[in-house]
Chains A and B, each alone.
Chain A
């Protein structure tokens, strides 16, 4: 789910629930999502590098 699509869906849902005032908060969080997703600590499934934790491996 891209940030843009996520934001679009969250805003639509908030409006449908009569919570228009919360829209600026999700818009602000979308900016935080960009930082989280761009973090150089994230691991990509496309690369050979893997997370150190094995706790969630089947």
Chain B
């Protein structure tokens, strides 16, 4: 049978274990979709067809022999092409890197391999993950699956498009300022940024050593929870949590001062729905939120410059122009300003911790606009023009600065049928609680369409 593009990991698992679908059929279905859609959408840089088919056959043989590796057994998954996969070149969407195949799996890849995942390919991204639109890639722009004149967000844009179109059932991305959550939000998918340090980032091309996170993009919260558990070994519930009596703080001010009207409407409706389901809603602000972009940039620039400096000197002309410009500018940040940014980070983290005292989670938009046009440098909200990058980072970067776990899930569409998204932020060290709550939110919010 041919897998439907709406098939998720849980659904595929049922079909695999009931004998109504084989991993080989499922994998071939994903590869067929890649063949059909990738020339237009450019979601993949490398397609690992032979390895995928071999692993799928092995997965089927193991299941037939009674060896079940768990929920990812035989499931086609893609990896953002910034994560090492043994025997495959990690390009980071750049011509500046040496095209040498990775000698070993990154720990995150190895864990997925052990869990029986079938790797179908490496997905396209914003070069070196330094951008939110996935249009500055040495391999060409990723295009939105619903409108190919628009960006799917980034930097993990190829991953979100792959999942949205059924080219893979899930994808592993990275998130330094929102690079999992932004494309997931723009494409109507679920994106989970776990807490800082929960998922290992070894053998993942770094952007910012203290802001980088690794996590999944999936069709459902349940699938995100399954992958989180595989990646961390931490158990999670699969049952939606009742929202009755759950205290949710809706973030205002910095987070909602300038929202695209359709996003505001969708998020307001979603919050109202959660309230009707029994959640206790209040509103609050993060006092120093105005400083978050400066704090984020001070940290990001310093840490990215430290990693890229030598390569910029040697092969700066091989970077895409916009990424090169930002990295070159980053090299001028002074040590004293990096320290100020790190001190400001402590303040923001404490304020978010304080906001979560007495509340089960915080709520914010996932992305304050819907998918922008490819190549747009600015976007106008309330007649104020701002850089697209700044706008797209606004709601997500705070939780890279603080390290809190955060998840986006779709909550409606704009007039062009482009997805809007809600973000749920949990307590540090309590990602399973966030996922349980998000399951409850998803059960209520789904259906807006």
Contacts and interface: CB of A to CB of B under 8 A. Distances in A.
Contact of B298 (A1, A22, A32): A32
A13 B329 CA distance: 10
A1 B301 CA distance: 18
Interface string B332-363: 11100100110110110000000000000000
A36 B340 contact: yes
B340 A29 contact: no
Binding site secondary structure of chain A: helix
Contacts of B235: none
B293 interface: yes
A1 B332 CA distance: 12
Contacts of B334: 1, 6
A4 interface: no
Given A10-B332, A29-B297, A32-B298, A37 B337 contact: yes
Contacts of A36: 291, 294-295, 298, 337, 340-341, 344
B244 interface: no
Interface string B291-318: 1011101100100000000000000000
Contacts, number: 65
B260 interface: no
Interface residues of B, number: 25
Interface residues of A, number: 22
Tell me whether chain B's interface is mostly helix, strand or loop, or mixed: helix
A39 to B, nearest CB: 5
A42 B340 contact: yes
Interface centre among A17, A21, A33 (most CB of B within 10 A): A33
Given A32-B294, A33-B337, A39 B343 contact: yes
Contacts of B301: 29
Interface of B: 288, 290-291, 293-295, 297-298, 301, 321, 324-326, 328-329, 332-334, 337, 340-341, 343-344, 346-347
24 contacts: A6-B334, A13-B332, A14-B329, A22-B324, A25-B326, A25-B328, A25-B329, A32-B293, A32-B294, A32-B298, A33-B294, A33-B298, A35-B291, A35-B294, A36-B295, A36-B340, A36-B341, A37-B340, A39-B288, A39-B340, A39-B343, A39-B347, A42-B343, A51-B343
Given A6-B334, A25-B326, 12 more contacts: A1-B334, A14-B328, A19-B325, A22-B329, A26-B329, A32-B293, A33-B294, A35-B293, A37-B340, A39-B344, A41-B346, A41-B347
